[in-house]
Structure 1
Amino acid sequence: MAETGKDCVLQQRLNPLTGESEWVVVTLRLDLEDSNDQCKSTEKEGTLWQTTYLDMLNDVERNRAYDKAIRKAVSQGARHVLDIGAGTGLLSMMAARAMKESYDSCRPQSNENLESTSTASVPRRVTACECYLPMFRLARTLLKVNSMGSSVRLVLKRSDEMKVGIDLSPAADLLVSEILDSELLGEGLIPTLRHAHTHLLAPGARSVPHRATIYAQKAIISGGAVTYLALRNKSPMDCALDFPTFGKDYLGSLLLCTWVLDLDEEGTISYSTAPVWAVTEPDTDNHCWKDHWKQCVWFFQRNDLTVVAGKTQIVQALHDEISVKYGVRSKSEVESQQPRDQTTSYELDMRPQRIGILGNNVYRRTLTDAVSLAVRQKNSPLCLVVDDSILCTISAGAANVDSHVIAMFPGLKADGPSYVKAAAVANGLDPNRFQVLGEKAVHLSSVKLNNRKVDLLMAEPYYRAYEDLQPWRQLRFWFERTALSSLLVDNAAIIPCRGILRGVALFLPDLWRSRKSLSNVEGFEHSSVNKVLGACGELPYAEDGPILAYSVWQCGQSKELTDCFTLMEFDFTIPLQAVEGSVQVPILTSGVCHGVALWIDWVMSESQDSIISTGPTGSAPSYWKQGVKLLNVPLKLEAEKDSYLRVSAVFDPTSGDIKVGVESETAEARNSLF
């Protein structure tokens, strides 16, 4: 990203429809412009919409813990605070406020003492660094809104680029930061703090937070259910586990990992990422569902460690600069100092949600059956897989010994050939029948096809780069199918042949609360950031908010208020085009509607008995992300005969965006978001 002018940013982005990288000029006017102090943004791609900043700022428990710890550290004599990764500048403003309060409390009361050498005369300052330009400008605006511009020096740099005497002076004696992810170390906590203590902080400098401890709990998988086992020891790095509650053997185990922050040295101010049922004395008023920090689950690959009641296993944890890895060993292995088995195989690097999808028997069978049927109906077919689906690729090769399969694998790139070779060999197939190009399908030419035309064009569709985006971003398949039209035979089979946009109205109080608009955060005005961060609730303006990608089953409380409904269809047998849809949905259950979840059902064959759904499955894991349209003002719905929701949508073929409108006939005043 580069700056092109005072209010413009030249930003590189991935066009979700074409898969191509492109440079766009983004106007982010983050200065005060009117009496409403609204932070204006003409940036329509939602640079910050998919981040968890809103969720963090709505986390009252987190905010109060940080404020309390910062006040305590400042009261112990801090004179120069360094905030690394300032974000909106909240922690910096907390520090500046605490310093002012501390100064005022010890300021000399008479003029004759003004020239004394008391601690009140020592300069107090806050330096904050933020390297991400949109967030830097957001922080700059909030500092101005809160009259903190002269109290906090904001630096547009990474902390490891800063130097004492240039970016801050003198060295800081208090560090505040929140560079933590769900695994604790993934945002570079260790190297960042090491550099700060070596180069930016004074000897003996304090830190908020002061300490982090990882806790683990063993669980077993039995009949699809997860049962948590009793812990004998909860030490952070070498946990001994025993299981007094079971009388027989169980197979399959996992480790649930959380962490606790001690924000002060004494450990009296803490914050935990554990679920509420695991917290000894939870703050029930504020300890609610949150998205920014989750519990982490680790699956063990060893099959020889059967869990037996009354016996002990040792969980060992090792960490490097950015991650923690866990292993399970029997007590006898540890006591005999038996070395670990270091043998590894070439494995596909997949995220947990992808593993969950491929681990679903119904999903695999539906996809492989559709591919196999289409391939067997062709003589010596040339099959083209345009996405990152190894499952489609191997299924096409296995269904017909005369088939030749070309896989684009744009997201796997150089690793693609190794993955396919390993999968082919494992399934007794000739690897030479598979060709991996590792590029985008739109770059394909007849030369690369040896002047043959494609008999079967297929995808799951699954583009690795879109795992965390709304499900219709996979409609890139329709764009690529259209771009490749001249390379297809006249009767080419298309898998999937259609897509159906489906939806359901939901009660989603936890998710809505986490994304609602900001006003006052621990005494600091934050309403200026609502548009830029994509706030969805209680907005002071009528402008439509974003549709965000979430797995509904992971969003806390949820309840379906309507039956699932069809909103529009996409026909992949014809070229890409605009699509519109509108539907009246009867209210099934009375309740408060916070939003509508949307997803795509992929029709894999014309018979329509072969459908892959990416929709929610109640409280059970679906592993797909849905697109969730949260309402500005929740609607109270009544399950009456003449009561319904009207939901409408428009698909834009130039951008791949879908705009959705929701209104209720039973509301006192229509709340149209379209």
Structure 2
Amino acid sequence: MSSSGESTQRMFQLKTDPLTGKSEWVVIEEDEEEKTTPKALLATTSYLDMLNDTRRNRAYRHAIDNAVTKPCHVLDIGAGTGLLSMMAARAMGLTDRKGDSSCSNGKVTACESYLPMVKLMRKVLRSNGMDGKIRLVNKRSDELEVGSDIHSRADILISEILDSELLGEGLIPTLQHAHDNLLVENPLTVPYRATTYGQLVECTYLRDMHDLVNREAELSDGIRLVPSGMAGVLGVKKQQQFAMHCDALKEEIKLLSEPFKVFDFDFWKRPDSSRETELHIKTTNDGTVHAIISWWLLQLDSEGTIFYSTEPNWIRRPDDVRELQSSSDSSDNWCDHWKQSVWFPQSLDLHVLKDEEVHLHAFHTETSISYDFKTLNEKRQVAHVDACTDDFQIALSPERNALYGDSSWRRLMLNAIEKALRQRIDPLCLVADDSIFLAIAIARLSKSSNVIPLFPGLGKKGLQYLHKVCAANSFTMDRIETISKKDLLSTMQDSHQRKINLLVAEPFYYGNDNALPWQNLRFWKERSLMDSILSKDVLIIPCKGLLKVCAMYLPNLWRSRCCLKEVEGFDHSIVNTTLGACGDLPLTEESPFLPFYVWQCGETKILSETATVLEFDFSKPMSSCSGKTPIRFRESGMCHGFVLWIDWVIEAEDNPVLSTGPDNRNWKQAVKLLKKPVEVKEGEFSSTEIEALFDPSNGEVILQHAF
């Protein structure tokens, strides 16, 4: 399809209501003159962060200028806003408005499958006078056909289809199809090659994120989420790498090896679907291998002069590998679209001695890289027997896994459950969310309780899990009632039926790891819908939620999300509203709430006292609520925005509170960046007023502030 467009297309986007979990398909029309791209679809993506990455943009520009030196056919796969396509067109002279005939044979084809981004790219091309210079095709690259979608095979491939692990966005199958069907023999490519590296590390927090077995062995509460011999029943997903800003853990990490090279991936030739290699790594310290931290180095040109790396800050690169330096200092290198990756060993007790040789088997599929350990002393590798199949395994996020092994959190929840059960002679308990911990705890602690787990996300898998671990936790499945919410409402509305007298939640919804804090109020919505089947004296855990707010210094996050102007000479100001930028926005525009682990957001500092701006009372059905509060500054500095989270009040009498604020690594907070940073002063009379409104019809929070 050319940029002028021939026929109207439509795309179906899945939209989920955060308070009900129900999904519906929303139609997005291609006709951009009549409709605009919905902001919500793109505001939480990584496009803005990527376009603010000056190191990335500069490296691509230099590499494209070096590769595109004469008229040719350039194919850009995953074109996004069209930045790389415009760079190629400019390098070929296609931006010459006088129509230089020497460039008549040059052409650029931009391939982008995501319709909202296609619509945005058209606007960018038009604003830069490039809409007639670049052919835009709204298809997946593996759907392109030479002769219809593109005129001929391309001489040069430009692509940026990399994730933090490198392979997760389909790099290998994309390159395979391109070399087979879309490129000339021996094409030029930008990038030219990518190399992955790894390093053995010891880190208590990284251990906590995957080692629930040993952590439970140290606890005396009797709850066993992973009973002996069932290591595979629950935990982080096996053979998967997890993206993380590892620089935030720098002071807690003990390096156990030098960096080691793992795989090369050449873009200029057809890659293999899978490979494996044996690595022999000499350890540099005594310790326990809790994880492998990995990253990649991108060589963008064939000469080996232009590089980009996702390495952590503690790495010293060889003298013959240098990046193009940006004008900003090294602290500006923080970005969120590419992080490091963390791989957790299946062996939980891999102890090593300094100067020992560790044998590491590395292998990759089309989408991921994994490892297996072997040591010279095989007895040192402790393998846990896995009595479960993948059908029963529940894969938690590393953060949830860490929380489930946290003794303070477990004690807080168990104390509240025990206290509630003592107040109920014949407990009928509803677990309103996906908390397997609470379902097990109630069934174990009360021999007379009946437990109804809704498990809206886990479904049958959650019930299969309970079957597996019930005996190890001293309860029988005859006390677990398996009934859907719909059937529960229809059967219990009879006045003679028992009413639910204990409703609990963590709250936790399986697969909802990227939620804003108040989207976990879904259990409040469930409580409201089931009000007719709750007893008059029902106990609800947690009983309240307090929406907390503080002002913060967030320079790295701000730079990654700020408004765009020119990006390597191309005007991108038109994308700011759609991509949810902050800074220099029109008065009518607000930057969106973004879910982040604030502790991983580069340099940060809390500037104000923490204030409560909203209270959610779960003893009553869900309703709108509003609040207003001043927050006083306790530090001087530049305020980039506000951070919000919910403190869960577990039970009313003693008011024990579970805080999910910036100091809690296992929960994401909501970040609201300002239109412009504001310098604030410490002092008794230095404050700002915050006003918030919660709308139960859509689950959204509206925040206003006045300095």
Match of 1:183 in 2: 165
Deviations 1:103-126 (A, max 9, x none): 99x97xxxxxx8xxxxx4761111
Which of 51, 54, 78 is 1:57 aligned to?
51
Which of 326, 334, 340 is 1:295 aligned to?
340
Q: Cα distance 1:244–1:199, how it changes in 2: closer, same or farther (>3 A)?
A: closer
Paired residue secondary structure (2:288): coil
Match of 1:198 in 2: 180
Matches within 5 A, 1:408-419: 408-419=454-465
Match of 2:14 in 1: 12
Residue 670 (structure 2) pairs with residue 624 (structure 1)? no
Deviation at residue 97 of structure 1 after TM alignment? 1.0
Matches within 5 A, 1:195-344: 195-221=177-203, 225-231=252-258, 233-236=260-263, 238-246=278-286, 250-280=287-317, 283=325, 285=328, 287=330, 288-331=333-376
The question of whether the paired residues in 2 share the 8 Å contact of 1:442 and 1:484 is answered with no
Q: Cα distance 1:74–1:448, how it changes in 2: closer, same or farther (>3 A)?
A: farther
Residue 703 (structure 2) pairs with residue 660 (structure 1)? yes
Q: Distance in 2 between matches of 1:421 and 1:474?
A: 27
Q: Distance in 2 between matches of 1:589 and 1:478?
A: 36
The question of whether the paired residues in 2 share the 8 Å contact of 1:28 and 1:43 is answered with no
The question of whether the paired residues in 2 share the 8 Å contact of 1:596 and 1:628 is answered with yes
Q: Cα distance 1:124–1:608, how it changes in 2: closer, same or farther (>3 A)?
A: farther
* Segment of structure 1 superposing worse, 510-519 or 457-466: 457-466
Residue 591 (structure 2) pairs with residue 545 (structure 1)? yes
Q: Cα distance 1:524–1:436, how it changes in 2: closer, same or farther (>3 A)?
A: farther
Paired residue secondary structure (1:267): coil
Q: Cα distance 1:233–1:592, how it changes in 2: closer, same or farther (>3 A)?
A: closer
Deviation at residue 251 of structure 1 after TM alignment? 3.4
Deviations 1:58-108 (A, max 9, x none): 000000111111121212x5611111111111111111111117999x97x
Residue 89 of structure 1 aligns with an amino acid whose one-letter code is G
Deviations 1:376-400 (A, max 9, x none): 4322322111211111111111110
The question of whether the paired residues in 2 share the 8 Å contact of 1:89 and 1:143 is answered with yes
Matches within 5 A, 1:66-85: 66-75=60-69, 79-85=72-78
Q: Distance in 1 between matches of 2:355 and 2:471?
A: 42
Matches within 5 A, 1:491-530: 491-530=537-576
Q: Distance in 1 between matches of 2:467 and 2:674?
A: 48
Deviation at residue 565 of structure 1 after TM alignment? 1.1
Residue 639 (structure 2) pairs with residue 639 (structure 1)? no
Deviation at residue 636 of structure 1 after TM alignment? 0.6
Deviation at residue 638 of structure 1 after TM alignment? 0.8
The question of whether the paired residues in 2 share the 8 Å contact of 1:214 and 1:258 is answered with yes
Paired residue secondary structure (1:276): coil
The question of whether the paired residues in 2 share the 8 Å contact of 1:10 and 1:24 is answered with yes
Paired residue secondary structure (1:260): strand
Deviations 1:210-248 (A, max 9, x none): 2111100111135983211232743445443323444xx
Residue 690 of structure 2 aligns with an amino acid whose one-letter code is V
Deviation at residue 418 of structure 1 after TM alignment? 2.2
Deviation at residue 610 of structure 1 after TM alignment? 2.2
Residue 693 (structure 2) pairs with residue 650 (structure 1)? yes
Residue 661 of structure 1 aligns with an amino acid whose one-letter code is Q
Q: Cα distance 1:29–1:646, how it changes in 2: closer, same or farther (>3 A)?
A: farther
Paired residue secondary structure (2:43): coil
Deviation at residue 293 of structure 1 after TM alignment? 0.7
Q: Distance in 2 between matches of 1:7 and 1:345?
A: 46
Residue 99 of structure 1 aligns with an amino acid whose one-letter code is M
Q: Distance in 2 between matches of 1:157 and 1:7?
A: 11
Residue 23 of structure 2 aligns with an amino acid whose one-letter code is S
Q: Distance in 1 between matches of 2:430 and 2:71?
A: 64
Residue 607 of structure 2 aligns with an amino acid whose one-letter code is L
Residue 234 of structure 1 aligns with an amino acid whose one-letter code is K
Residue 692 of structure 2 aligns with an amino acid whose one-letter code is A
Q: Cα distance 1:588–1:469, how it changes in 2: closer, same or farther (>3 A)?
A: same
- Aligned-residue identity in percent: 43
Q: Distance in 1 between matches of 2:190 and 2:423?
A: 65
Q: Cα distance 1:121–1:41, how it changes in 2: closer, same or farther (>3 A)?
A: closer
Paired residue secondary structure (2:489): coil
Q: Distance in 2 between matches of 1:29 and 1:49?
A: 20
Residue 184 of structure 1 aligns with an amino acid whose one-letter code is L
Which of 382, 395, 420 is 2:466 aligned to?
420
Q: Distance in 2 between matches of 1:14 and 1:149?
A: 34
Deviations 1:3-56 (A, max 9, x none): 9x969866430011221113446688855x9xxxxxx84736x11111111100
Deviation at residue 138 of structure 1 after TM alignment? 0.5
TM-score by length of 2: 0.83
* Segment of structure 1 superposing worse, 371-380 or 384-393: 371-380
Paired residue secondary structure (2:578): helix
Q: Cα distance 1:599–1:616, how it changes in 2: closer, same or farther (>3 A)?
A: same
The question of whether the paired residues in 2 share the 8 Å contact of 1:534 and 1:546 is answered with yes
Q: Distance in 1 between matches of 2:304 and 2:422?
A: 66
The question of whether the paired residues in 2 share the 8 Å contact of 1:387 and 1:461 is answered with yes
Match of 1:98 in 2: 91
Residue 624 (structure 2) pairs with residue 578 (structure 1)? yes
Paired residue secondary structure (2:396): coil
Deviation at residue 426 of structure 1 after TM alignment? 3.3
Q: Distance in 1 between matches of 2:631 and 2:620?
A: 29
Please give the root-mean-square deviation of Cα atoms over the aligned residues, in Å: 2.9
The question of whether the paired residues in 2 share the 8 Å contact of 1:466 and 1:473 is answered with no
Q: Cα distance 1:232–1:96, how it changes in 2: closer, same or farther (>3 A)?
A: closer
Q: Cα distance 1:263–1:344, how it changes in 2: closer, same or farther (>3 A)?
A: farther
Residue 53 of structure 1 aligns with an amino acid whose one-letter code is Y
Residue 122 (structure 2) pairs with residue 135 (structure 1)? no
State the structure with bigger RCO (CA 8 A, min sep 6), 1 or 2. Answer: 2
Q: Distance in 1 between matches of 2:316 and 2:160?
A: 21
Matches within 5 A, 1:366-385: 366-385=412-431
Q: Distance in 1 between matches of 2:111 and 2:79?
A: 6
The question of whether the paired residues in 2 share the 8 Å contact of 1:83 and 1:127 is answered with yes
Paired residue secondary structure (2:474): coil
Residue 189 of structure 1 aligns with an amino acid whose one-letter code is L
Q: Distance in 1 between matches of 2:575 and 2:482?
A: 45
The question of whether the paired residues in 2 share the 8 Å contact of 1:446 and 1:487 is answered with no
Q: How many residues align?
A: 629
Match of 2:645 in 1: 599
Paired residue secondary structure (1:374): helix
* Segment of structure 1 superposing worse, 550-559 or 120-129: 120-129
The question of whether the paired residues in 1 share the 8 Å contact of 2:82 and 2:124 is answered with yes
Q: Distance in 1 between matches of 2:354 and 2:471?
A: 40
Q: Distance in 2 between matches of 1:562 and 1:28?
A: 45
Match of 2:217 in 1: none
Q: Distance in 2 between matches of 1:506 and 1:185?
A: 35
Q: Distance in 2 between matches of 1:28 and 1:444?
A: 43
Unpaired runs of 5+ residues, structure 2, are 208-251, 264-276
Deviation at residue 198 of structure 1 after TM alignment? 0.8
The question of whether the paired residues in 2 share the 8 Å contact of 1:216 and 1:239 is answered with no
The question of whether the paired residues in 1 share the 8 Å contact of 2:37 and 2:119 is answered with no
Deviation at residue 585 of structure 1 after TM alignment? 1.4
Deviations 1:152-199 (A, max 9, x none): 111111111111111001111211111111111111111111111111
Match of 2:223 in 1: none
The question of whether the paired residues in 2 share the 8 Å contact of 1:78 and 1:174 is answered with no
Residue 268 of structure 1 aligns with an amino acid whose one-letter code is T
The question of whether the paired residues in 2 share the 8 Å contact of 1:442 and 1:480 is answered with no
Q: Distance in 2 between matches of 1:205 and 1:475?
A: 53
Deviation at residue 504 of structure 1 after TM alignment? 1.1
Q: Cα distance 1:564–1:449, how it changes in 2: closer, same or farther (>3 A)?
A: same
